[in-house]
Structure 1
């Protein structure tokens, strides 16, 4: 969710940059980039730990590049966890 929220804020800053003298795009762009990188790294780690199929991992990671897709990914995983498709127990 932080990655998706940073994207929305970045869009607001782009509009403000175009319409006013306020320019937070360089800073917020870097923050968004760092959060996106974390999303990808955590997604890859979840793929390894949860033993997701290649298709599922690709879908979750693809959602990170679709605008607001991270919000959908979060809702999807929360729903699955509530329905009992939650995390695979960790093994040593």
Structure 2
């Protein structure tokens, strides 16, 4: 795996957790505040923040798909995980495992060369 592919995977990992937490933490919390108090002005900024995180996640996912040559099923899985509350946490776990496997494979290649 080259450095650009590894960094694309790392970027996707970094954004997956905030995106996973943004739906339940921001939108559900804001919705509860709107319905239980007179604070209804928070929904638009919280929704925009969640939307920005989702768009960044989607762009990073497309970048990983392009660089890592993932199959369509794997990309669809990660996209669906972004739609499920806390799904990105499972996606982060999968990405961490892929990242560790690629490090082991790179070290094995280096050892074979030496």
TM-score past 0.5 threshold: yes
Unpaired runs of 5+ residues, structure 2, are: 1-16, 107-114
19, 42, 56: which one aligns with 1:3? 19
28, 32, 35: which one aligns with 1:18? 35
Structure with the bigger RCO (C-alpha within 8 Å, sep 6+) is: 2
Partner deviation per Cα, 1:12-56 (whole Å, 9 max, x = no partner): 111111111123111100110111011111101111111111111
- Which is richer in helix? 2
Shift of 1:78: 0.9
Runs of 4+ with deviation above 4 angstroms: none
45, 69, 79: which one aligns with 1:27? 45
Secondary structure of the residue that 2:94 maps to in structure 1? helix
TM-score by length of 2: 0.68
User: 2:69 & 2:90 partners in 1: Cα distance?
Assistant: 21
Does structure 1 retain, via aligned residues, the 8 Å contact 2:26–2:47?
no
Total equivalences in the alignment = 87
Alignment RMSD, CA only?
A: 1.9
User: 2:102 & 2:73 partners in 1: Cα distance?
Assistant: 16
